[in-house]
Amino acid sequence: MTKILHRQIHQQYPVAAGGDGPYVIDREGQRYLDASGGAAVSCLGHSHARVIEAIKGQLDKLAYAHTSFFTSEPSEELAEHLTSRAPGELNHVYFVSGGSEANETALKLARQYFVEAGQPRRSNFIARRQSYHGNTLGALSVGGNPGRRAVYDPILMKNVTHIGPCYAYRGQRNDEDEAAYGRRMADELEEAILATGPETVAAFICEPVVGATLGAVPAVRGYLQRVREICDRYGVLLILDEVMCGMGRTGTLFACEQDGVVPDLLTCAKGLGAGYQPIGAVLLSRRIFDTIAGGSGAFQHGFTYIGHATACAASLAVQRTIEEDGLLANVKSQGEALQQALKARFGNNPHVGDIRGRGLFRGIELVADRGTKEPFDPTLKLNARIKKEAMARGLMCYPGGGTVDGWRGDHILLAPPYILEEAHREEIVEKLDAALSAALEQVTA
Ligand code: PMP
């Protein structure tokens, strides 16, 4: 009997023992095509020689030194790499160990910024329903995934207001076009700021492309620009959570580049280290940095492993590989081809409501009735069944949804590695088709 408190306590997990490009190999030798990059993490696939070499090289020199004593070459170089490619004036960076820590850090940076800027009343946050920002208490407080919040609700932050997500498939009305829908949803932010009291709001946080909770849903064009304008009008900071959709996943290094918007704080993780080491980061604007630097001169925060040298060395190798191997171009072309292939295969399936996403970040939403968009009964756990059937066929896809929340249904998230080739793409579609048919047969029988 295992001593580990696994996610699903009664489930038997295969033992992952090896990797080969886009495949994970278990102890019995079964190969699994990693069509979801785990949870949109493994963007270079597995066992990448250059990244492993960089990690070994750093370990030979120095694994780690605490940041209250030292900085390190890999962390300084990684900071330079990221900030020189980031949009606008996102000129500084803070390295952590994952996405939740990155969002905790961003919330605290926003708060400290206003204290130092002489606006200490700004302590409220606005976020969106159907979002996910992490499992630590602060990140969970701004998150809007009802299933993940339910048990912990009494111990979450009470200074958070949630507005609706920008989710055209379910939210856009027949009497409005995409632009009007985007305006209406962005205007919910203005209403929330006014209702909360503009001089008390610190920041608004959202995912430019919603990952785990909705399944690769990009905001409609224009939405984020209007959000940016509204934040500026009321002096509210904009935090974009690119933990899942950032670092090239959507075809540009930062997802917000495609929306023409620059946040004040941008969080990333997952694809930053591609799973080779645990790492996350917060990019912050010159204004926030200068205010704290010119004020107390110290950020009241910190973790033991911030700026971990080996994690930064791994991440630097990942980021240089993405750039030098021209992988963003592959993300764009393979992403388009994957979207076309999914549409061709599933576009007429009566239980596939929507196929969406950007780059190699794609979501398929399943519905009981395509006409009414009625979701399947969540107790049927369709998404978990698809995951199980896919694993049995040697395919990893990330399931989501199924939590009771008004109009949300089941979805599957695909986030394959940026090294994807045509043959892998075909294998994804074939295996997914078989897994989906088997799972749908179970719930419609
Ligand atoms: N934000 C987003 C958008 C995420 O998708 C996730 C992870 N699924 C997180 C934050 C939390 O990241 P982590 O699990 O690394 O703490």
Atom from ligand 1 closest to the CA of residue 210: 3
Q: What is the CATH number of domain 16-47+326-444?
A: 3.90.1150.10
* Poorest-pLDDT segment among 251-255, 358-362, 402-406: 402-406
Domain ranges of the chain: 16-47+326-444, 52-324
Separation of CA 158 and ligand 1 centre (Å): 21
Q: Are 169 and 153 in contact (CB under 8 A)?
A: no
Atom from ligand 1 closest to the CA of residue 100: 16
Residues in the chain: 445
Tell me the residue type at 220: V
Separation of CA 177 and ligand 1 centre (Å): 31
Q: What single DSSP character describes residue 152?
A: G
Atom from ligand 1 closest to the CA of residue 212: 5
Separation of CA 75 and ligand 1 centre (Å): 21
**CA 256, CA 17: separation in Å to the nearest integer?**
36
Same topology, domains 16-47+326-444 and 52-324? Answer is no
Instruction: Name the percent of the chain lying above pLDDT 90.
Output: 94
The pocket around ligand 1, CB under 6 angstroms, is made up of 39, 98-100, 103, 132-134, 207, 211-212, 241, 243-244, 269
Q: Ligand 1, residues 96, 149, 205, 244: which to mutate, most atoms within 8 A of Cβ? A: 244
Tell me the residue type at 343: K
pTM: 0.98
120-144 pLDDT per residue, tens = 999 999 999 999 999 999 999 999 9
From 402, 366, 365, 391, select the one nearest 35 (Cα to Cα).
Answer: 391
Separation of CA 397 and ligand 1 centre (Å): 17
What was the ipTM of the complex prediction? 0.99
pLDDT recorded at residue 407? 57
Separation of CA 416 and ligand 1 centre (Å): 17
Q: How is 350-376 classified by DSSP, letter by letter? A: TTEEEEEEETTEEEEEE-SBTTTTBPP
Which residue's CA is the closest to the ligand 1 atom numbered 1?
133
SS3 397: coil
Encode 5-35: b = buried (16+ Cβ within 10 Å), e = exposed.
eeeeeeeeeeeeeebebbbbbbeeeeebbbb
Q: Ligand 1, residues 41, 96, 243, 249: which to mutate, most atoms within 8 A of Cβ? A: 243
- pLDDT class of 16 with cuts at 50, 70, 90: very high
**Statement: residue 298 has pLDDT above 50:** yes
pLDDT recorded at residue 404? 44
From 276, 171, 150, select the one nearest 217 (Cα to Cα).
Answer: 171
pLDDT recorded at residue 420? 98
- Burial class of residue 346, CB neighbours in 10 A (0-12, 13-18, 19+): middle
Atom from ligand 1 closest to the CA of residue 99: 12
**Statement: residue 1 has pLDDT above 90:** no
42-57 pLDDT per residue, tens = 999 999 999 999 999 9
Q: What is the CATH number of domain 52-324?
A: 3.40.640.10
Tell me the residue type at 3: K
pLDDT recorded at residue 147? 84
Separation of CA 109 and ligand 1 centre (Å): 18
Separation of CA 195 and ligand 1 centre (Å): 29
- According to DSSP, the β-strands at 124-128 and 160-163 are parallel
